[in-house]
Amino acid sequence: MIPNLLSEVEACKRDYPEAWQHAHTGSARTEEFIRLLAARCHAISPRFGLNGKRGNPDDLSNDALCFKGEGPDHLSDGTPATVIDVIGAAGTPGAVAQWAIVSKIDTPIKTAWIKPGDVPVRPSPPPLPSYPGDAIFDKVGALLFADYAHAGRVPDPQAGRWFGRTIYDYLAGMTLEDSIEKHRAEWRSALGL
């Protein structure tokens, strides 16, 4: 039986908040959280490992683990396996710790089991210098992405439109708060909120 380690996901989230914020974002630190969690879970049961998406050990899942020896999926050698999603709404400000079995008998997913520590950590690129508008951009982005998550949607190309319109009016002389209020009402309406 596959142990439910949701408490470990929550503990890892608490212990490594920065890694959690970067999980599944595509940033240089996108894999950090899942690597930390996989190592913790592997210490509890050596059957837990990292998940190679679609059976590719070079394409590491940033929000799922693989449990070998049980389940409806199979590794390349025929060993049964199960994929477990550990981050709901991964890559968004609304991300939540979860323990969701993804593998289903009627819809198997190709997977590769990877021992934590066997995949080299990619070197992080040098940090980007801060930009004078970063705090303003972050404020708009936090609200925009939170509303997308609340609507149950992932950011799409229109997210750039709403961000751009908000900054455009701000640069044209509107206060940031007024511009956010104006355009947030528009994007929330477009999201059905």
- 163-188 pLDDT tens trace: 999 999 999 999 999 999 999 999 99
**Segment 35-59 mean pLDDT:** 93
18 and 56 share one domain: yes
- pTM for this model (two decimals): 0.62
Please indicate, yes or no, if residue 109 is contained in any of the structural domains: yes
pLDDT at 66 over 90: yes
Answer for the pair 52, 61: CB distance below 8 angstroms, yes or no.
yes
Please indicate, yes or no, if residue 41 is contained in any of the structural domains: yes
Please indicate, yes or no, if residue 125 is contained in any of the structural domains: no
10 and 96 share one domain: yes
Q: What domain count does the chain have? A: 2
Owning domain of residue 174: 134-190
Q: Of 83, 114, 145, which marks where a domain is finished?
A: 114
pLDDT at 125 over 80: no
109 and 78 share one domain: yes
Quick one: pLDDT band at residue 124, thresholds 50, 70, 90?
low
Please indicate, yes or no, if residue 122 is contained in any of the structural domains: no
Percent of the chain with pLDDT over 90: 55
107 and 156 share one domain: no
20 and 86 share one domain: yes
15 and 106 share one domain: yes
Q: Could you report how far apart the first and last alpha carbons of the chain are, in Å?
A: 41
Please indicate, yes or no, if residue 121 is contained in any of the structural domains: no
Please indicate, yes or no, if residue 128 is contained in any of the structural domains: no
Q: Which two tokens stand for residue 115?
A: 């021992």
pLDDT at 119 over 70: no
101 and 11 share one domain: yes
Cα(166)–Cα(61) distance, integer angstroms: 34
Provide the mean pLDDT of the chain.
89
98 and 13 share one domain: yes
Q: Of 81, 114, 147, which marks where a domain is finished?
A: 114
104 and 165 share one domain: no
